[in-house]
Amino acid sequence: MAVDIKTVLAESQLFQGLTTRDYDKLASIAVSVEFRKGDTILTEGDPALGFYIVAEGLVKVFKVSVDGKEQLLHVFGEGEPVGEVPVFSGTHYPAHVVALTPAVLVYFARDEFTHMLNANPQLALNMLATLSQRLRRFAGVIEDLSLKDVSARLAKYLLSLAKKQQSTSVILPLSKGDLASSLGTISETLSRTLSRLRAAEVVEVARNRIDLLDVETLESIAAGERVL
Amino acid sequence: MAVDIKTVLAESQLFQGLTTRDYDKLASIAVSVEFRKGDTILTEGDPALGFYIVAEGLVKVFKVSVDGKEQLLHVFGEGEPVGEVPVFSGTHYPAHVVALTPAVLVYFARDEFTHMLNANPQLALNMLATLSQRLRRFAGVIEDLSLKDVSARLAKYLLSLAKKQQSTSVILPLSKGDLASSLGTISETLSRTLSRLRAAEVVEVARNRIDLLDVETLESIAAGERVL
DNA sequence: CGGAAGATTGATCAGTTTCAAGCTCCGTGG
DNA sequence: CCACGGAGCTTGAAACTGATCAATCTTCCG
């Protein structure tokens, strides 16, 4: 579980285009922390003194309702920053973060990082790009939750996963329960929806592997054109 | 409808803490544009060459479903930037923007603004703060859409409006239809929900003015504790 | 004043959740 | 090595929330 901090930083989009000096400085203020599967990394409402970059493993960012239901906002993997929002506005973490797998994260203290931002326009622009991408993604999630049904959201997710994994035979990186939370539904509904896709011979499901048999139909379901 | 650009810029959170020189520079690259009520300001999918700051009036930012239903993402007023996301990532506008009232917006070309960002760490930090606030807000919207019912979302909205307007007698800045879109529902459901709040003597509704009679109950509805 | 847009109300319908039961898989300990 | 037990997943039936369709009413402006 040992991780070379500089390697991780060098691979993160956030730190592209920086000088060697900047890397040294970053590495000198960074602290790596290990978490076991299921460990809480950040708690919503806690005062924010810094943020993390995921070096290894997967983490989920989520909100919790009064009766304990979760809504996943993100699943983050290697190179992605977590908990950076309150570095720039607000003083507390806006959501919970838990390790989905054993994970190593690199911590940056807020103040030290802010100093670096002031001196590095490129770093600030990278951070702006990262936040913008998230805003774009969130806007898409809001659109989907409000305007699309579960089968369209699931189809869209499967297609994006296939694209990322470069294969029509995708491996779910999440438990079905977490996937349901991420799609804004519950595991029962996800299960039924997958069954219907299976019955329609659009996908085949084996454990956590899903084969996309009919990508074209899946695309029209994702677009909300076909009802299923 | 004449607007003094420098005054608007000086009042915008985005431009706080800048030097006089910076203001002169900003004013020199800014162009003010007028829109009538209902005019389209930006169209989703159009290539993004710049962004606006609202100088006067209200605009709505929204997504549209295949069958024409709208989901509002934001309503922006004076001093707020619009369409800035693709300045930092992506190349096209991610949503539609339409004027809710007669409006004046100040346009900044992407390239010129990016140059300024490079030279002004404070400007970059301000922009980071703005985007962070939006992310925080979006995370809240996602949470609400997924985990709360319409009455909770409405109650929350009314309470936030009361806070902003410093009064328990609030004036809706939106049509009921737009408010419904902004809460992720449709006007019929909003109408019914308001009726129920009225029947429970929690609010009183007159035209576009709503009096909050029982703030405490409204708060427990917003928290999802009371069913209504 | 008249017409169009916006808002309300009623009846019905569809999609999703809830509650409950049973099943599968997998790690653990006997 | 197998049995046990628990977590995760699936399936069914019923309940519910919110959407749709349709009709009516109100408000706003020209």
Q: B65 to chain A: which residues are within 8 Å by CB?
A: 143, 147-148, 224
* Angstrom distance (rounded) from CA A162 to CA A211: 9
User: Taking Cα atoms as reference points, which of A207, A89, A193 lies closest to residue A148?
Assistant: A193
Report if CB B177 to strand C is under 7 Å: yes
The nearest CA of chain B is from the CA of A54 a distance in Å of: 19
Q: What percent of chain A has pLDDT over 90?
A: 86
pLDDT-derived band at B66 (thresholds 50, 70, 90) equals confident
Closest to B128 (Cβ–Cβ): which among A67, A128, A141? A128
Task: Give the residue on B whose Cα is nearest the Cα of A72.
Answer: B143
Would you list the DSSP string of A66-108?
Answer: TTS-EEEEEEE-TT-EES-HHHHS-SB-SSEEEESSSEEEEEE
Angle formed by the axes of helices A121-147 and B110-119, to 10°?
Answer: 130
Structural contact between residues B45 and A111, judged by C-beta atoms closer than 8 angstroms: no
CA atoms within 13 A on the CB side of A160: 11
Per-residue model confidence as pLDDT tens digits over B127-181: 999 999 999 999 999 999 999 999 999 999 999 999 999 999 999 999 999 999 9
Structural contact between residues B111 and A180, judged by C-beta atoms closer than 8 angstroms: no
Report if CB A184 to strand C is under 7 Å: yes
pLDDT-derived band at A74 (thresholds 50, 70, 90) equals very high
Separation in Å: D4 C1' and B13 CA = 63
Closest to A128 (Cβ–Cβ): which among B124, B140, B146? B124
pLDDT at B6 exceeding the cut of 90:
no
The nearest CA of chain A is from the CA of B75 a distance in Å of: 14
Per-residue model confidence as pLDDT tens digits over B101-137: 999 999 999 999 999 999 999 999 999 999 999 999 9
* Mean pLDDT to the nearest integer, B59-63: 96
D11 nearest neighbour residue (CA to C1'): A192
Separation in Å: C24 C1' and A178 CA = 19
Cβ pair B147:A65 closer than 8 A: yes
Residue tagged 């993604």 (tokens): A137
pLDDT for B1 equals 52
